[in-house]
Structure 1
C-alpha cells in the first residue's frame, strides 16, 4: 500500500502520499496542514478541518487513488484549483469528481450529485460506488481538455472543456459566475465537506 511497482516507476508514476506523513499537502490558503493526518496508511480527516491541496500543480495527468467515506458522508476530488486569495473555495476554480454516500445520504440527490459525477455539470452514466466503509478506486484522466472519470474500473463520465456542450452546461451551472476551469493548470484538492473521509494509494502520472 502507498508504494509504486517498478513498472509504475518506469511508466512515470509518482506517489502523492507516502503513507506515513502529510508531506506534499497543505490546507487551502495556508502554508501548512492541520486537521488531516497520516493514519494507518491513509490520509484522513475526521471532518470540519478544511480542504487540502497538493503542493505541486498539474496540467495534463492521470490520477488514481482509493477513498473510504463515512455513512451519509460527502467529499470530492478536485483539480485545476487556484490557490489565490480572490477565490474563497476550491470549487470556484476546480472541477470536481464527486464523492458521496449514494446509499444513505440524508438529502435527495439529483443525477449530477451522485458519486463519479462532474459535480453539477455531468451525471455519471451508471452508479458503481461501493457502500460506506468499503474502499473505492477513482481514476481521473485529464489530457488537453479531455477529461474522464473512472470509478471502480468503469468509465462513468467523459467531457471536453472545449466542446460546445460543456460550455452550455457551464453557463447553466452554479459555476457560471466563477473562473471555473479557466486556468488549465492548478492544484489537486481533497475536500473536507464536514464528514470523515480517508484516502490512500494516491498516484499521478503527468502526460
Structure 2
C-alpha cells in the first residue's frame, strides 16, 4: 500500500520540463538493431475469467477522453476500436496499479511514410496526466521500417529498445502482453521502488523486467513524479498515414 503524499504543482511541473537547449535527437539510440523474428498470425486472445474486459469489440464504456474527461470519441466498427484523428487520447475510467494486460493492435495494409511517421501510437502503461504524460510502450509499424531503436515497436519509448523485432506485416494483427509493476513513492514523494515492465510482443519477449528510469520524455531524460494508481491510456498521435485499430483488450489486477 502506498503512503499518502502531497506533491506541489511546481515540483510536478519541474519533473516533466526538458533541459534548456535539449533536442529530441539527443535521446535517440540507433544501434544495435534488434534481430528480426518471424512469428505466425494468431486469432484474438480470449480474456481469462477474472479479467476486466476493457474492449470486446462492442463499446467504449470503459474509456474516457483525456481532452475533456467526456466520452471517448474513437470509432467502434466491425469489432475494432480505431483512432479517430484529432479527438485526442483516450484512457480507462478505472485506475490501476500492478496488472497483467493484453492488447491487440493493427496498422492498416498499404501504409505509407517512414520512420516515426508510419503508424505511430502508444500504449501508456500508467497515465499520469493529460496529453502524453505517463509511461509509454511504443506502437509503430516496425516491419522493414528503419527508425531509432528506442522508438520502434516494443520499445519503452526513449528508454529501452526491444530485445527483438517480431513485428508482423501491415494489415496483420499484433499483440502485446504486459506485466506492469507500478512505482512506489514515500509520503514525501521520493521514489522508493521504480516501475518494472515485462513485455511479450507477438509472443516474443522484448522487455524483461525492465526498470524504468521515469516517465516518458520526448526531449531530455526521463524522471519520476509521485503518483498513485493510474489509468491505462491509448494515444492519438495525429499520424496522417494510418488509422491504427485495436481489439481484445483486457487486464488482470495483480497484488
TM-score, normalised relative to structure 1: 0.79
Structure 1 stretches of 5 or more lacking a match?
A: none
Residue 127 of structure 2 is matched in structure 1 by: 81
Distance 1:199 1:171 in 2: 22
Q: Is the 8 A contact 1:80 1:184 kept in 2?
A: no
Distance 2:139 2:217 in 1: 22
What does 1:24-35 align with in structure 2 at a 5 Å threshold?
24-35=62-73
Which residue of 141, 163, 170 corresponds with 1:101?
Answer: 141
Question: Residue by residue, what CA displacement relative to the aligned partner does 1:64-86 show, whole Å, maximum 9, x if unpaired?
Answer: 01101232211110122124xxx
Secondary structure of 1:47 counterpart: coil
Distance 2:253 2:166 in 1: 26
Residue 39 of structure 2 is matched in structure 1 by: none
**Alpha-carbon distance, 1:34 to partner:** 4.7
User: Larger % of strand: which?
Assistant: 1
TM-score, normalised relative to structure 2: 0.66
What does 1:23-172 align with in structure 2 at a 5 Å threshold?
23-70=61-108, 71=111, 72-83=118-129, 88-90=130-132, 92=133, 94-103=134-143, 109-143=147-181, 145-161=195-211, 166-167=212-213
**Alpha-carbon distance, 1:119 to partner:** 0.4
Aligned pair 1:187/2:231, yes or no? yes
Secondary structure of 1:95 counterpart: strand
**Cα root mean square deviation, aligned:** 2.7
Q: Is the 8 A contact 1:58 1:186 kept in 2?
A: yes
Paired positions, count: 189
Secondary structure of 2:150 counterpart: helix
Secondary structure of 1:187 counterpart: coil
